[in-house]
Amino acid sequence: MYFPSRIRAFAAGAALLAASAIAQAQQLPNVVILATGGTIAGAGASAANSATYAAAKVPVDKLIAGLPEISKVANVKGEQTFQIASESFTNDNLLVLARRVSALAKQSDVDGIVVTHGTDTLEETAYFLNLVVRTDKPIVVVGSMRPGTALSADGALNLFDAVNVAASKDAKGKGVLVTMNDEIQSGRDVAKAINIKTEAFKSQWGPLGMIVEGKNYWFRAPVKRHTTQSEFNIDEITALPQVDIAYGYGNVPASTVETIGKGAKAIIHAGTGNGSVADRVVPALQKLRADGVQVIRSSRVNTGGFVLRNAEQPDDKYDWVVAHDLNPQKARILAMVALSKPLSTADLQRVFWEY
């Protein structure tokens, strides 16, 4: 039998615990997770399926519910922005996502933002956000190489790390970040280098830091212009121009460039080595430039591409641009953003040096 004094003590204790929980929640940072689909929201037929699965199946509320540990790191809310595999991402998807990230970043009650994303085009979205969202609040893009149903699934830890980084004051002002495989990568530098391992994302310049048991360890900071230092703003971009990629390879015909360049405002030539262009393709690119299409030389080298101006081609003579160290897909992102404004070739080249 409970006596009145014991009942009062029990009620007081419960109230104290509830008040303590509320106080703790009020002290934690507020992080919003924008879910877009991908493998991190995927499901396989069995636990043995790590590479064969259906992407974009698990809604964001279930992702959050399956990771109760994040409640100790931040007050987390989720929004289902899209539910698609990232190879199907469009320019319109990029614009919608960036506008939502920008709007959240302006809210005083949001301290950080996480975007869950399929890995196939994750690097492109991360770089796009890095260019157009004007905030110093942490924005972290995260995915996984295995669905949550697989043995040794990597999504849960990747997401925990992403929330941890987004909630951290030491991540402020470092641009858009990517957390995969315990590493903190720059959204500008990182690229998917392999499609079957959990350590799939690499940067030729190395990670910015590591996450170990919820603690961030930083080793370098990005020096290229981004976010608050960017001259581009998602609030001013209504549409993205058509920019296409032409791939260089042995025996490549000029018709490849001619076909891809139709209707484009710029064409990224993913050349071999130092952005080399086959002799039979040069006239086709010259014609495109004469017709007003910007020609940007990039390299198809997986990690370590670096294109020097006037090295393989007389870029000054042809009025071409070089992509610096950006891979073709990121060069396309930067060209679209840059050419949303009226820029000369010289200004476009400046943008590629600075961003």
Catalytic residues: 39, 119
Find residue 139's DSSP bridge partners: 113, 176
Both tokens of 21, joined, read 């929980």
| 25-49: b (≥16 Cβ within 10 Å) or e | eeeebbbbbbbbbbbbbbbbeeeeb
Q: Which residue has the tokens 């260089």?
A: 248
Q: How far is it, in rounded angstroms, from Cα 289 to Cα 109?
A: 48
Secondary structure class of 254 (helix, strand, coil): helix
> Taking Cα atoms as reference points, which of 317, 307, 302, 250 lies closest to residue 281?
250
Torsion angle, alpha carbons of 96, 101, 105, 109, to 10: 100
* Antiparallel, parallel or unpaired: β 112-116 and 176-180: unpaired
Of all helices (H) and strands (E), which one includes residue 139? strand 139-142
Helix (H/G/I), strand (E/B), else coil: 147: coil
- Beta strand 321-322 with 294-299 is parallel
**Which residue stretches of 199-275 are H helix?**
254-260
Q: Which residues pair with 268 in a beta bridge?
A: 245, 296
- Block residue for tokens 């315990």: 182
Which DSSP string corresponds to 256-308? HHHHHTTT-SEEEEEEBTTTB--TTTHHHHHHHHHTT-EEEEEE--SS---PP
